[in-house]
Structure 1
Amino acid sequence: MREYIPPATRFVTLPPGFTLHRGGRLHGARIAYESVGQPNAAKDNTILILPGLSPDAHVCSHAEDPSAGWWESMVGAGKPIDTRRWHVICVNSLGSCKGSTGPASPNPSNGEPYGLSFPELSMEDIADAAAFVVRSLGVKQLACVVGASMGAMTSLALAARHPDLTPHLINISGAASAQPFAIAIRALQREAIKSDPQWNQGAYSAESFPKSGMVMARKLAFLTYRSAQEWNQRFGRDKLGLESDSAAPFGIEFSVEGYLECHAHRFTSGFDPNAYLYLSRCIDRFDLAEASRCDVADALARLSVESALVIGVETDFLFPISQQRQIADGLAAGGAQVSYVPLDSPAGHDAFLVDFERFGPPVAAYLASLSPGCQGNLAAVNLLTI
């Protein structure tokens, strides 16, 4: 894998001997981030964006890097997360392969990639690393934390472990713990990678890379990111129209097969297999109630959150909308002012990455309620308020 780090990416080095939730330690680890917009004099206009499993820290285009970011239509001047008003920090998760220290990074003890010697990773570690970045930049309290998918899980861990940083949350297509179906799907993805002989117990190289395992894992994942409704609308039973190749029986025939093949190969060329394994298992293991030894509802109610916007998608079967309703109800039970928005989008779990017409307005309205002069005034927001 050839690592690509956007030119505007900056780095914060974590403290020596950074202790992980499950007991491991990291020395000389770093976290990649990008900063867009300007902090005000009080440094109280900073929004932290916590991404899902695969994105880097380049969330949107800006002067230092005009290339489109992974959330280009949501973040930027005049957009729902308006960088003329807000100072935005986007971090790349600890354990990733997009600039932050992870299994593909050199182990300072021997200069070789960590591989499977990388310590066990948890969502709490990702949250702690993000909190360290924020504080190192001189921000004592965030205006809002925005998390989507895995990032939504991270945002809950951040609120639990760093309540002084997180008075307001936007939690998108997230969960307080993984459900069995999602765990099973990710277990199959990990099995596909580990079953590739080129994986070699995590000791692969650019010349001997588990490409077929990664391609299969990504195809399995992408099937769950979109809904059956969208697959039907987008591809139907269209065929590629290619001549049959007798040397390759049961080859690609339908347009949807070709799409999955192209998408999976493109992803595989830029993502480390071991990082995929670590982050995938990290998602499965997350349980907000684990540390507090209570049920999820009580764990959510114990979070010191003043307000939250919780958005889910009716067609999402990877992070079902019932999980977003659980988050909204739990936060509200703890006294937070919560707006819950169930969206009827055909795009499934990935809707927040593609369906900006539906996601943009509630995000913009909620952030407007946090602006000076109407701080926390969700009554003015046309949302389903609990």
Structure 2
Amino acid sequence: MTEFIPAGSQFLSLPSPFPMKRGGALHGARVAYETWGTLSAEADNAVLIVTGLSPNAHAARNAGNPEPGWWEAMIGAGKPIDTERWFVVCVNSLGSCKGSTGPASINPATGEPYRLDFPELSVEDGADAAVAVVHALGITQLACLVGNSMGGMTALAILLRHPGIARSHINISGSAQALPFSIAIRSLQREAIRLDPNWNGGHYDDVHYPESGMRMARKLGVITYRSALEWDGRFGRVRLDSEQADEDPFGLEFQVESYLEGHARRFVRFFDPNCYLYLSRSMDWFDLAEYAEGDVMAGLAMIRVPRVLAIGANTDILFPVQQQQQIADGLRAGGAEAEFLGLESPQGHDAFLVDFERFGPAVRGFLDSL
């Protein structure tokens, strides 16, 4: 069991016990976060970023860590999220293995990793943990709450559970509930991990590690993070050179297969399998309809936030762009001034991580208008 904590991370100790939505509580838990820019004297220029499943809190380089972050092109002086104006905070999700308490962390009651003794994790738990960081920094109200992918779910949970926490919201490739296709994909990913003999009911180590299961899970994920349009344009039907091809008669033959294999191998040892299972399932459970007698639009309309921008990529199959349209429409019904942008990016769900020519101006324009 390994945690992968970037240099420069800061930590907030959560209240103990920290109650979990589906029962149980954490004791001695913490949340990892990083910051950029300067908080104003009035503490009114804060932007909180809540992330997708796998990112750490290191969204961009800063004084604590000069290495480029996962959203480097978006955060910094003169960038779309301009740190000369905004005080930016990014939190690592509760349940992760990148600094915040999760299944890979030590359970203080036993002195051993939690593994599957970690309480059932909900998106709402991550939302409450993120708000604890905001309040600990002396921030009463955020200027803007930004959520990407799973973070889009987390952001909606924050807004619903903590009324008045933000003056505006940018929801990027997020959703108000998990759709059947997304649930099906994540279910297969979890099954691949759990069927690996080395998973061993969550009791693996660095020697006996569910590498094959994690590889399969990651490949399934990467396939859905991009679009068929991009796979075709990027790889076509190009085959590997003879010296690159696998000798196995059913082994790697096409460049796209080699790309997926390389991507998966880079990931599997840098994300804890049990953490992956817990965070993946938390997305499947998330549904604002449960707060409004089964009506997701009514659940969205319960949220009060003055300004909203919902952005998505028209080629996204994992969090389809209709879900961002739904977010804008639902929040508008609750009184928000809400705008929806469906961007013609070929890069699918991952577009917000790579297509900065489209997503950058959209985010910059909204923040500049605040």
TM-score by length of 1: 0.94
Partner of 1:381: none
Deviation digits for residues 262-315 of structure 1 (CA, Å, limit 9, x no counterpart): 100101110000000000000000001213324111111110110100001110
Unaligned runs of 5+ in 1: 371-386
* CA deviation map 1:332-374 (0-9, x unaligned): 111100111110100000000000000011100100111xxxx
Structure 2 equivalent of residue 76 of structure 1: 76
1:66 alignment partner, SS class: coil
One-letter amino acid matched to 2:155: S
Partner of 1:117: 117
Alignment match, 2:201 = 201
Specify the code of the residue in structure 1 equivalent to 2:183.
Answer: I
| Secondary structure class of the residue paired with 2:16 | coil
Aligned length: 370
User: What does 1:158-307 align with in structure 2 at a 5 Å threshold?
Assistant: 158-243=158-243, 248-307=248-307
Counterpart Cα distance in 1 of 2:216 and 2:246: 23
Partner in structure 2 of residue 157 of structure 1: 157
The offset of 1:166, in angstroms, is 2.0
Name 2:315's counterpart in structure 1.
Answer: 315
Aligned residue for 1:171, secondary structure, equals strand
SS of 1:32's equivalent in the other structure is strand
Distance in 1 between residues matched to 2:244 and 2:311, nearest whole Å = 45
Q: In structure 2, what is the Cα distance between the partners aligned to 1:213 and 1:294? A: 35
Distance 2:167 2:82 in 1: 19
Identity of aligned residues (%): 61
Map of 1:9 onto structure 2:
9
- Counterpart AA for 1:309: L
TM-score by length of 2: 0.98
Distance change (3 Å), C-alpha of 1:2 and 1:337? same
The residue aligned with 1:377 is none
CA contact (8 A) 2:77 2:84 kept: yes
Distance 1:7 1:188 in 2: 33
The answer as to 2:331 corresponding to 1:331 is yes
- Shift of residue 2 of structure 1? 4.5
* Aligned-pair CA distance for 1:244: 7.8
In the alignment, the residues of structure 2 paired with residue 299 and residue 186 of structure 1 have an alpha-carbon distance, to the nearest angstrom, of 24
**Residues 59-98 of structure 1 mapped to structure 2, 5 A cutoff:** 59-98=59-98
Per-residue CA deviations over 1:151-208 (Å, capped at 9, x if unaligned) read: 0000000000011212210000011000001100000000000000000000111111
Secondary structure of 1:261's partner?
Answer: helix
CA-atom RMSD, angstroms?
1.2
Secondary structure (helix, strand or coil) at the match of 1:125 reads: helix
Q: Which moved more, 1:219-228 or 1:159-168?
A: 159-168
Q: 1:311 touches 1:342 (CA, 8 Å); kept in 2?
A: yes
Q: Contact between 1:167 and 1:304, CA under 8 Å: does it hold in 2?
A: no
Task: Give the Cα separation in 2 of the matches to 1:247 and 1:360.
Answer: 44
Which residues in structure 2 correspond to 1:112-151 (within 5 Å)?
112-151=112-151
| Partner SS state of residue 78, structure 2 | coil
Cα distance in 2 between the residues matched to 1:27 and 1:298: 35
What is the CA-CA distance between 1:245 and the residue it aligns to? 7.0
Question: For each residue in 1:217-240, what CA deviation from the matched residue of structure 2 results, as whole angstroms up to 9, or x when unmatched?
Answer: 000010000000000010111122
> Does the 8 A contact of 1:317 with 1:349 survive in 2?
yes
CA distance 1:195–1:158, shift in 2 (3 Å): same
Amino acid at match of 1:284: D
Larger CA deviation: 357-366 vs 61-70: 61-70
Structure 2 residue identity aligned to 1:17: P
The CA distance in 2 between the partners of 1:242 and 1:267, in whole Å, is 26
Q: Measured at CA, do residues 232 and 167 of structure 1 come closer, stay the same or move farther in structure 2, by a change above 3 Å?
A: same
Q: What is the DSSP-based 3-state SS (H/G/I as helix, E as strand, rest coil) of the residue aligned with 1:312?
A: strand
Aligned-partner SS, 2:156: helix
User: Is contact 1:182–1:318 with CA below 8 Å preserved after alignment?
Assistant: yes
Contact 1:178 1:287 in 2 (8 A): yes
Aligned AA for 2:336? A
Q: Name the amino acid aligned to 2:363.
A: V
Residue 256 of structure 1: how far off its partner (Å):
0.6
Amino acid aligned to 2:243: E
SS of residue paired to 1:330 = helix
The alpha carbon displacement at 1:247 in A equals 5.3
1:28 matches 2:16: no
**2-side partners of 1:176 and 1:246: how far apart?**
43
Q: Which residue type is aligned with residue 338 of structure 1?
A: A
